[in-house]
Structures are given as C-alpha cells and as structure tokens.
Structure 1
Amino acid sequence: MNLPRPEASTTDLAWLHTRLVVDAQAAGLLDLAYRVVDSPVGPLLVAATGTGIVRVAFAAEGHDDILDNLASRISPRILEAPARLDSAARQLDEYFHGRRHTFDLPLDLRLTTGFRRDVIVHLPEIRYGHTASYAEVAAASGSPRAVRAVGTACAKNPLPVIVPCHRVVRSDGGIGQYVGGVDAKRTLLHLEASA
C-alpha cells in the first residue's frame, strides 16, 4: 500500500539544509561553500574552499554552469553554506556602499596559473578609484609586450570585483570588455570614482 508522502514545509527544508551543512562541515565533507550576494551589478555567486575565496561570478556567466565547473575542477562536495561566506558578503556590501576600498579576504588562486596568475596577483595594486591600461599592467607583470595576454587574464579572472580587473582599461581611454558586461564595469568604475 502506498501512503501519501507528507509535504515538507519551507521551515523543515531550511532546517534540513542547515543540518546538512553543519554535518558536512563537522565530517570534513564540505570542500566548497557558496552563496549568492545581491549587488548593484546583479547577483554575484561567491564560492570558497578551506583556503579562501576561489570564485566570484556574475549572473551572466550562469551560476549553475559555474557550480558545475567548480564541482568538476575542484570537488563535487559543494553546498550552499551562506554563513561560511558571511565575511565576504559583508566586505562586498561595504565595497558597494563606498565604505571599503580594499578586500581583506583569504584567496584561493588555484583556478589561474602562469602569466594569468601573475596578472591577477598584480591587479589589487591598482588603487581604488584609479585605472591602469592593459599595457601598464603588462609591464608591471614583467611582460611589457603581453598586452593581449593581460586582456585574456582579466577576462578569465576567477575573482572579479574582489580582484579588480574592472580597473584595467584601454590605452586610448576606452573602457574595454568585462566578464560581467560593459555596464557592470562602468558601474564599478563610477562607484569608485564617486566615493
């Protein structure tokens, strides 16, 4: 005899999810935690390993695609665990309200290597409210002729906003491309210029 399944309430599901996160963390089974943060440039997916923030993604990148990619490249043991990313969410909120000019978060740079990593490591040196050209970043990264490679590194930056690739612009003053879209880049630059 098949008995009807009782409907789970939203409260029950939230409790079960919280319990799953707590148990997974306690057992050392939560390799990646993520949450979605609202921002003036749309919802941002923020994911972290035990080492630090490993990925920030715009909605235009497809959050589900990003999670699938993280599951295949890092670990399938991934859960939405907002509390584990409270510090990142708070610092992003402070940044978007003009109260934070640099981020103080541990980063996990495993998704970038070689010259791209050299560029990513250099980007936080571009001060809040300032910009640098792709050519200037290439020179500062030790390869002055690698202007296109800098563009690629910025486009593949796994940590946009936190690692400020939006501060890199064209030598002619043009805004250039951006992983979150040109409007998002313009918004971030305007936010920093008016603080």
Structure 2
Amino acid sequence: MTMQNPELPTPSASEWKRAHEALMSSFDSVRVYYGWIDAPFGKMFLARTHRGLCLASFRRSEDALVDDLEKHELLPEKAGSELDRERRQFDEYFKGKRKRFQLPVDIRWGTAFQRQVLEAANEIRFGECECYTNVAERIGRPKAQRAVGNALGQNPVAIVIPCHRVVASGGGMGGYTGGLDVKRALMEIEGIDPADGVHERREH
C-alpha cells in the first residue's frame, strides 16, 4: 500500500512576515551599532544593541573598539540613525541642559561585584560626589575601597553610569579611566568641587 504524504498548507503572507521578523530579531540580539560623538575633551565612542547602550568609551581607535565588541561575541556595524537618541542626550549633557540620562543600558560583561558597584554609583546625583569608602560601605564591603575603584574603572558606559562622581576621601580626585583631565571636565560641567567634601546619598 502506497502512503501519500498529506499536503502541507501554504503559509500566508502575514505568517511569512512574522517568521522573517523572528529570524531578523535573532540576528539583532548580537548586532551592535557603533559611532562617535565630539565631546568637549575629544572624541567619544558609543555602541548600542537592541537592548540599550552597551559602551561609552574615551580615547579608543575605531579598530580597537571593533575588536573589543567582537571579543564579546557582538557583530559591530556602523550606526546611522540608530544612535540618534544617545548622541542627542550626550550633547544636551555636555551643554549643561541634561542632568539625568534616560537611556536603557545593556551591560553584557562584568562580575556580580562590579555590577553591584556600578548600581551604587548610578545612585549618585548630578552635581554631587561620594568617596570610594562611602560606596564600599553602601554595598556592604567597607574594606573594599580599592576593589570599588577597580570596578569603577571597568565601567562600560561612562557618564551614563556616573563613576566620575566618585572621588578620593580628603578632597582628592581619585582615578579615572578616561584620564583626570576628562574627570575634571565632567566635574566642571556639573559644578562639582571634590575639595568641598562628599555628599551623603539622599533617597530619590
């Protein structure tokens, strides 16, 4: 007896469209759009996935940026309009017209401790600063000031997560991956003088 295969229904145009969109979405999950902006202190590179900003970095070459993104299994592509919102908000910040970024972030690397430190730094308000000791105490690691500084140095989204607002106790600047000249410029934008002392965190 010969068995005949049942005839499969032909997908409708809308079903083909949904399948295509699902396929493209799977590609977008690893695609990252990158570009740069002109900051008061030089060029700054930005990159975003479909989830949000994943990199805001100082003093990189384009080749180094692409290598870094590929190292994290992302597919770099030069941005067109994909970074318009990020560029606009950074420009507003540099001109003193924005105190808080309204951008989703997509932090794809880092340890649980580093993420905890970045979350604490993200609570420091515009125009205020805290010392490394305060941040260490707030995350329940009062003796981890050096580790806090190292974690802040790995911040992938500078300025948006404001690690520049963390300073040394006693009025010192502390360190900064982008360089102390950049940290000083960001503090001037916000009217921060670490010599005035640090501020206790207030509830939002």
TM-score, normalized by length of structure 2? 0.77
Say which of 115, 121, 128 aligns to 2:119.
Answer: 121
Match of 1:80 among 78, 81, 90: 78
Q: In structure 1, what is the Cα distance between the partners aligned to 2:39 and 2:78?
A: 18
Confirm or deny that 1:71 pairs with 2:73.
no
Partner of 1:3: none
Residue deviations 1:106-127 (CA, integer Å, cap 9, x gap): 1011122211110111112111
TM-superposed deviation, 1:27: 4.1
Q: Could you say which residue in structure 2 is the equivalent of 1:52?
A: 52
Gaps of 5+ in 2: 1-22, 193-204
Mapped partners of 1:147, 1:173: distance in 2: 15
Two-structure CA RMSD over aligned residues (Å): 1.6
Q: CA deviation at 1:74?
A: 2.8
Q: TM-score, normalised by structure 1?
A: 0.81
Identity of aligned residues (%): 40
Which residue does 2:88 correspond to in 1? 90
Shift of 1:57: 0.8
Q: Is the 8 A contact 1:112 1:158 kept in 2?
A: no
Higher radius of gyration, 1 or 2: 2
- Any gaps of 5 or more consecutive residues in structure 1? 1-25
Residue-by-residue CA offset, 1:45-100 (whole Å, 9 max, x unaligned): 100111111111101x444213201112132x211113111111111001001111
More helix, by proportion: 1
2: CA distance between counterparts of 1:148 and 1:70? 27
Q: Aligned partners of 1:143, 1:62: CA distance in 2, in Å? A: 36
Are residue 42 (structure 1) and residue 42 (structure 2) matched?
yes
